[in-house]
Amino acid sequence: MKLLNLQKRIAIIENFKFLTTNANARQYARVTTSVNISIALLHGAIKLHGVIFDLSIHCIAIMVKHTKELEKLRSKNVSLVFNIPTKRVDTGFWQLKLEADITAIIEKDGKAKVICELNEDSSNESMLMEYIYDRQKELIVEIKKMSQLNHRA
């Protein structure tokens, strides 16, 4: 850390490196998405739409409009359906369908943050891991660029 000023909310960080460990060792690292990713929460006849707030290999946080249907999903198992961007296929995205348990619903200003813990036996876990790993690399590059710009100033 080169400079930290909490009052001005400024941090200048330098000497970043890519970690030599693999994505499995960073299983609890959370990342925001590079673009807004729409997501559907499905449980029986209930279908809610939201946007991914952040995600990790084990958990996805989703922002949705707070509704009566949402309260019915508290502590339930749901299906999560969404597309994540990738350069590895011609369509430019992977469609994922993951099973998860809703572990928390945090309401604020008519919206709700829904925390979903992913089930371990997901066949799509490797695609999610790849996206998270790629996103972590993107964030490191962005921070390095910002650090270099601040260093020159």
pLDDT in tens, 76-132: 999 999 999 888 888 888 899 999 999 999 998 989 999 999 987 666 777 888 888
From CA 60, how far away is CA 117, in angstroms rounded? 7
* Angle value at C-alpha 107, between 102 and 108, nearest 5 degrees: 150
pLDDT in tens, 6-56: 788 777 767 766 656 554 555 567 788 888 999 999 999 999 999 999 998
Give the CATH superfamily of 3-152: predicted glycosyltransferase like domains (2.40.10.220)
| Segments making up each domain of the chain, as ranges | 3-152
